[in-house]
Amino acid sequence: MYKLFKFISMSLFAAICFTTIGFGQETTGIIEITTKDNTGAIVPGVTVTVSNAGGTSGFKRTVTTNGSGFQRILQVPPGNYNVKAEATSGFAEKSFKNIIVVLGKATPINLVLSVGTVDAVVDITAGDNANIDTTDTKIQTNITSEIAERLPKGTNFASLLKVSPATRPEAKSGGYQIDGASGSENTFVVDGNEVTNAISGTLDSNNNLPFSLVQEVQIKSSGFEAEYGGATGGVINVVTKGGNNEFRGDFGLSFRPGKLQAADRDILVKNPLGAAQHLSSSGIDTTNGFFPSATFSGPVLKDRIWFLGSWSPQYLDNERTIPYATMSPVTYRSTQKNEYGFARLDGQPLESLRFSGTYVWNPIAVQGTLPGIASQFDSNLPNDGILYGTEYTDQRGGRQNSNIVTASGVWTPSSNVVVSGRYGRNFLNNVLGTYGISSIFPYTSSNSRILISSTSGAPPAGANGGINVSNGVNLVTATVYDATVRETYDFDGTYLFTGLGRHELKGGYQRNSIRNDVLAPRSGYIILYYSDANTDSGIDKKSGRSVTPTPGNIGSGQVITFGAQGGAASTNDGIYFQDKWQPTNRLTLNLGFRIEKEEVPSFNEFPAIEFGWGDKIAPRIGGAFDLTGDGKTKVSAFFGWFYDRFKYELPRGSFGGNIYYSNYFELFDPNKDFRTYDPSAIIGGAQTIVVGGVCPQTGFAFADVRCSIDRRVPSNDPSLDIAEQGGVDPNIKAYRQTELTFTFERELSSNYLFAARYTRKNLDRAVEDAGFVTASGSEAYIIGNPGLGLIKEFYEQNGWTPVKAKREYNALEIRLNRRFADDYYFNANYTWSRLWGNYSGLASSDEEGRTDPNVSRAFDAPFTEACVCGGETVGLLATDRPHVFKFAAAYNVDWKKRFGMGEGNSTEFKTFFNAQSGTPLTTFVDVAGYNNIILNGRGDLGRTDFLTQTDFGISHRYKFGRDERFTAVFDLDVINIFNQNAVTDRFNNSDTTNSYDLTDPANGLVTMAEANSLASGPLTALAEKRFQASGAPNIANFANAQTPDVRYKLAENFQGPRSIRFGFRFMF
């Protein structure tokens, strides 16, 4: 391994010395220029200048075509460009305008030069290009700002991710499902800086930027190059707008009035009479949205430095009137403000030197909270034991601070060499929901729950309490801080040269550094145990430890310290090489290789997991062939390995971040009111802990605490006995997926493009906490690869059957695109797919889209991947949709051209239509406390409704002033215009009142003799082994024969209601 690392390091050093540098996360595109004459002969040595046009960020670069009449211009920001070929050797000057450059794509331009002194200016298009990049093997969808204008949408960029054929918003997938991968397996990038949530792997609403800031959104779904790591789903890449030599402004107001919106969907509940009931929100809920925006850009120093500034806050006012059954109705209110302040500075002091810097300030503040609609059955108003009703809810809320900083520089010493680097920093402090309860920290007697235990003896009269009596304060968890800082460093290189063909060699180094600090304690909780004549509540008895009671004590108590606390940091380093090699003009080989080194974080002093340079080797190999030789037909193939970057959910829970301590102290004063015990005074601080606990026989552990017991043993403690306490597989392998993709593209005409793709993505191995029952009857977990390694070895040694995580995605995708020309465009695509296995990924579709990566309940016990009906739980997964059709189109009506009147007026009609199969429905039942055990096999309840939805929009523009420089715009966006109401989920737990005991002889897994003779641990293990082998016919018969839950099979979730937003903009 050392020799491999040394070789790669030396190769990288050489590559950086002789190559260019490109960004690790894509922020630019490419222009490929070929110069020929009218006969098709090559014209070498032509000077070509590329400069920005329209609203594109300031950019200018001049190159000279080589001896083959070819030149590739790298690092071109996305947008519109003008291209000019200077007059040379008797050929006339020639210009092209409105060349579109998109992220990650090469835009080919064939400059056919004419003899003479002056030639015409060629207007390529006013919309998107239909050209095929015959050198490319990746699949991506690019949504430029122009395309976004021609689609009905929400206010933020994520509302258009569904436009990608491979992408679907899926609630059960925990976010956006791309090519079958769950919502926690995507990577989100803004201006080259990753902003994915480090805990859940999803997109925070803070970083879902509004369209006023966005130049382009790119969704990479398959075949992406070696420079991209950390995603087994897709890469969503956002590039922000910038300024140029023209002063430009865009000022707008848009509104989403509550009275124009369709009512929220009904909510399924079990009412107090025990009957199933759908509660309507009609007349109960009202939400008003207000979305102002102001953007201004221009030159700081013409041709050299440009700026853009924007402020786009979003205001949501929510109101809910609860019609209580036993009280008068109460109206609750909540307000939310999403701030989006943005500044960008671009500079090009020399044609060969370019820099860029951005700052996004994007906190979210919420004031007030709304009780659930089902609270109408409650007999009490929402409260904290002190405040009630709106007095309580009005002072709830929270704030989630966030900001993003990026900086980059690009140096182009020659047309073949570009040197660049990038730094990014993303900060997020998630403390939403803490207003009104943050005062619990530090703990006091007035904000802590104090309870006299039901196992206590009778308290003395001076305690003013009784057995099982509390002070009435509820337990809550308040996040004091949960702050994450992510810093990214990217240094990459690209060198263009010829040798056995044309090469674009790229090599790079990346570092992704994360730190998370959390303090999220549960409110103070004291349990008191008094001694009397019949009950000895001494500290030795209640703690169960060898602690000598102090003479004169009247009992003991415990302060329970529970929550998340600590800090951890991790780094992920990546080295990659990528060569785009064209041995012939028609064949391109994309040969990539990536290695990573990752340190998984630990919140305690013990080491966690480390993946070395040889543990995440990722080949990325693709080939593309120009089938007809005219740049109009391409076939391609791609093979690659993709690895996940470890999220913080498992390390926080298993490596010391989540804490649970019982701090025992003694009681002495019989006249002390039980409500006056102060937890902070007892434990000597707000959150005093000793990792591992401490219980001296005499004296104190700390403060007034005699014995502190650590109830949550960290899994990364190397001293653990695996058989009794679990642990970490020392040979754990990284989460990996294999991809194989084939594509075909054909330009049918200058305006039409047909494409087809087949892809197969197979999850090779997962990383999860796999549980088992110990000999003593408790639960323990091994963190590793289910069905492999130590988990496999331990299960087989103890008689369980190891089960591997399985997920296979196969899809055939067909697309027909018409670029915008003659005032209209359309994109149509159909995807047939199959998502099969027993494991949905880092977000769990069997748990309603739970986004807790690596700690799903799928492998929490050996039998949880077995069906009650017998056999493994493989089948169609809960987000499988075999048929999906999408259609987007827009038609622009120029009033002067169509009606001969209304000069300067145009009206654009736009639509997006989606039709897709329903998803499989599966019956679950609770066995041994696990409520996600499959009863009759996957998909036994059929599928949800076939879903269709039509979104519609209108934009009317009026241009006026000299050269029509000013534009007034009216926008209307209607999502789900027909208010279609398909059922998207049904209640699928057949029995919510019973948990079937594996060790109950009546359930047929153990005999009465075995139940009477075996201890708890061995008995449970025996029942689990038999369940794995043959299922549990008795449980199946009982569960299917009994009267099910009254909600069983009833509609539980629905398609989103119609949403209407309109607004006005003024632009210049």
pLDDT digits (tens, 9 = 90+) for 240-294: 999 999 999 999 999 999 999 999 999 999 998 889 999 988 878 999 999 999 9
Strands 47-53 and 79-85: antiparallel
Range of the domain at 447: 437-581+646-717
300, 244 in Cβ contact below 8 A?
no
For residue 45, tell me if it sits in a domain: yes
Alpha-carbon distance 653 to 329, whole Å? 41
Given CA atoms 758, 764, 769, 774 in this order, what sign does their dihedral have?
Answer: positive
How high is the pLDDT of residue 415? 84
- Sorted by sequence, the CB contacts under 8 Å of residue 282 that are 6+ apart come out as 263, 264
Tell me the per-residue pLDDT of 963-981, one tens digit each, with 9 for 90 and over: 888 999 999 999 999 999 9
Q: What is the pLDDT of residue 117?
A: 56
Segment 652-657 shows an average pLDDT of 90
Mean pLDDT over all residues of the chain? 90
> Does 1037 lie in the same domain as 911?
yes
pLDDT digits (tens, 9 = 90+) for 381-400: 988 777 899 999 999 999 99
DSSP reduced 3-state for 491: strand
Q: Does any domain span residue 426?
A: no
CA-based nearest residue to 869, from 934, 923, 924: 934
Per-residue pLDDT, 17: 38
Alpha-carbon distance of 344 to 357, in angstroms, equals 6
Residue with tokens 């754990």: 732
Question: Has residue 13 got a pLDDT over 90?
Answer: no
Q: Is 353 exposed, middle or buried (CB count within 10 Å of its CB: 0-12, 13-18, 19+)? A: middle
My answer on whether 247 and 204 are in the same domain is no
Per-range mean pLDDT, top range of 222-231, 432-441, 442-451: 222-231
Same domain as 213, residue 93: no
Mapped onto helix, strand or coil, the DSSP state of residue 773 is strand
Higher-pLDDT residue of 723, 777 = 723
Domain presence at residue 602:
no
Residue with the bigger pLDDT between 1033 and 443: it is 1033
The reply to whether 198 falls in a domain is yes
Query: Given this model, what pLDDT does residue 150 score?
Result: 97
Please determine, for residue 725, whether its predicted confidence score (pLDDT) is greater than 90: no
Asked whether the predicted pLDDT for residue 438 surpasses 70, the reply is no
Q: Could you report the per-residue pLDDT of 439-468, keeping only the tens digit for each?
A: 556 778 877 899 999 999 999 999 999 999
User: Beta strands 727-728 and 118-123: pairing type?
Assistant: unpaired
111 or 579: whose pLDDT is higher? 579
**For 675-680, what is the mean pLDDT?**
93
Q: Is residue 29 part of a domain?
A: yes
Which CATH number is 50's domain given?
Answer: 2.60.40.10
Helix (H, G, I), strand (E, B) or coil at 1068: coil
Residue with tokens 């309870």: 451
Q: What is the mean pLDDT of residues 646-667?
A: 92
Q: Tell me, what DSSP letter sits at residue 1045?
A: P
Range of weakest confidence among 200-209, 411-420, 826-835:
411-420
Query: Which pLDDT band, with edges at 50, 70 and 90, does 2 fall under?
Result: very low
Among 224, 242, 260, the domain boundary falls at 242
The candidate with the shortest Cα–Cα distance to 846, out of 868, 864, 862, is 864
Helix (H, G, I), strand (E, B) or coil at 725: helix
Query: Which of 365, 385, 407 finishes a domain?
Result: 407
Q: What pLDDT score was predicted for residue 351? A: 87
Model confidence at 23: pLDDT above 80: no
260 shares its domain with 378: yes
Tokens of 621: 């190999």
Q: What is the pLDDT of residues 583-636, one digit of tens each?
A: 999 999 999 999 999 999 999 889 889 999 999 999 999 999 999 999 999 999
Contact of 976 with 949, CB cutoff 8 Å: yes
Residue 590 resides in a domain: no
Is 596 among the domain residues?
A: no
- Tell me which amino acid residue 755 is: A
* pLDDT, average across residues 932-952: 97
Domains in the chain, number: 5
CA distance 25 to 15: 19
Task: Note whether 248 and 227 are same-domain residues.
Answer: no
Beta strands 106-113 and 779-784 are: unpaired
pLDDT cut 70: percent of the chain above it: 95
Do 753 and 883 reside in the same domain of the chain? yes
Query: E strands of 166-313, at which residues?
Result: 167-170, 175-178, 187-190, 193-194, 214-222, 235-240, 248-256, 267-270, 276-279, 285-301, 305-311
Q: Do 474 and 444 belong together in one domain?
A: yes
Cα separation, 834 vs 812, in Å, equals 9
Burial class for 355, CB neighbours closer than 10 Å (0-12, 13-18, 19+):
middle
Q: Which of 82-86, 126-130, 254-258, 1057-1061 has the lowest mean pLDDT?
A: 126-130
What is d(CA 284, CA 942) in angstroms, rounded to the nearest whole number? 33
Together in a domain, 32 and 172: no
pLDDT at residue 46 tops 60: yes
Q: Is the pLDDT of residue 3 over 60?
A: no
**pLDDT value for 118:** 52
pLDDT at 422 over 80: yes
Phi, psi angles (nearest 5°) of residue 86:
-70, 150
- For residue 574 the two structure tokens come to 């990546």
* Residues with Cβ within 8 Å of residue 615, at least 6 apart in sequence: 596, 597, 598, 733, 734
Residues 145 and 209 in one domain: yes
Residues 295, 189 share a domain: no
460 assigned to some structural domain: yes
Question: CB within 8 A of 391, min separation 6: which ones?
Answer: none
Task: Report the pLDDT value the prediction gives residue 115, as an integer from 0 to 100.
Answer: 75
Do residues 708 and 729 both lie within one domain?
A: no
Q: Domain end: 220, 242, 264, which one?
A: 242
- Please give the Cα distance from 560 to 679 (Å, whole number): 9
- Confidence (pLDDT) at 121: 57
Q: By mean pLDDT, which of 408-417, 852-861, 936-945 is the weakest?
A: 408-417
Q: Angle CA(1050)–CA(845)–CA(565) in degrees, nearest 5?
A: 115
* Mean pLDDT within 84-110: 82
Picking from 167, 159, 160, 158, the residue whose alpha carbon sits closest to that of residue 140 is: 167
Residues 832 and 695 occupy one common structural domain: no
The alpha carbon torsion through 854, 190, 910, 289 (nearest 10 deg) reads: 80
